[in-house]
Amino acid sequence: MSNKTITIDDIEVPFEEGQTIMDAALAAEIYIPHLCHKPGLSPHGSCKLCTVDVDGRAVSACTLPAAEGQRIDNNTPALNEVRKTITQMLFIEGNHLCPSCEKSGDCTLQAMAYHLGMLDGHFPQFYPQRELDASHPTLVLDRDRCILCELCVRASREYDGKDVFAISGRNTNRQLIVNSATGRLADSDIETDDMAAHICPVGAILIKDHGYEIPIGRRTFDLHSVAESDLGEIKLSNVRHHDE
């Protein structure tokens, strides 16, 4: 056990060499809001929700290694306000139709919005034109909901040992693409049991012919807040790397 510590919101938190601030916080059951982070997959730092204040500097908790003596502000009104704004931008940049979405109640983005007290999109909707790919016999790729967190990209590479997804394009043209000759999911090597098929936090990748099977009141975020859910999550302790 290491004697090294950091301080998060005035609480002293131990850490091991090599851990990020996020790793140390989760181990100490301190919740730092996040969407693109999943224990067991390499940190990505793209959603910026885990932005914390380290000795006066704004950084991503999921990518910055913990270092002895760091003083970190996390659960502050100012930071949560910024996180709410980021969440609003994620909503308006895609087409998130919660009322009819089968992921409603199980969606981490939606749960995050509730967690941060988001009541509207604030910004004008982008209404981007995005393509739905239903070519695969058992999976649907609905880009309307994609928040470009790259969890599927990393799960496919690092856990499934494949390379099915990537992000392509710049700025508002960024989108999730499929690594196949035709660009269609049907022509990729993704399979129903792959982690990449199940990891999407917002329902951009879904199992076909299923939906709305869990009654209202028993869905993930009917039972737990996003903080409870992420802290209680079973960590992917036996992550296989495709090069192992």
What is the spatial distance between Cα 216 and Cα 19, in angstroms, rounded to a whole number? 38
Residue 77 in contact with other proteins, rule: CB under 8 A: no
Told to check if 99 binds other proteins by CB under 8 A, we report yes
Q: CB-wise, 75 or 135, nearer to other proteins?
A: 135
Binder among 11, 67, 214, 223 for other proteins (CB under 8 A): 214
* Min CB(210)–other proteins separation in Å: 7
> Applying CB under 8 A, which of residues 18, 69, 124, 217 lies at the interface with other proteins?
217
- The Cα–Cα gap between 71 and 11 comes to 9
What's the CA gap between 107 and 226, in Å, rounded? 9
Instruction: Kindly list the distances between the CA atom of residue 96 and the CA atoms of 48, 60, 110, in Å, as whole numbers in the listed order.
Output: 19, 25, 9
Q: Which of 216, 234, 238, 243 binds other proteins (CB under 8 A)?
A: 216
Shortest Å, Cβ 149 to other proteins: 22
What is the rounded CA–CA span in Å between residue 192 and residue 72?
Answer: 41
Q: Which is nearer to other proteins, 135 or 229 (CB)?
A: 135
Structure tokens at 88: 């609003």
Q: Helix or strand or coil: residue 198?
A: coil
- Which CB, 84 or 143, lies closer to other proteins? 143
74 touches 61 (CB < 8 A): yes
The site map against other proteins for 100-139 (x = CB under 8 A) is: xxx-----------------------------x-xx----
Closest CB to other proteins among residues 138, 179 = 138
The smaller minimum CB distance to other proteins, of residues 100 and 171, is found at: 100
Tokens of 132: 């739905």
Query: Using only C-alpha atoms, what is the Rg of the chain?
Result: 18
- Residue 176 near residue 204, CB atoms below 8 Å: yes
Q: Footprint of other proteins on this chain (CB under 8 A)?
A: 99-102, 132, 134-135, 140, 142, 208-217
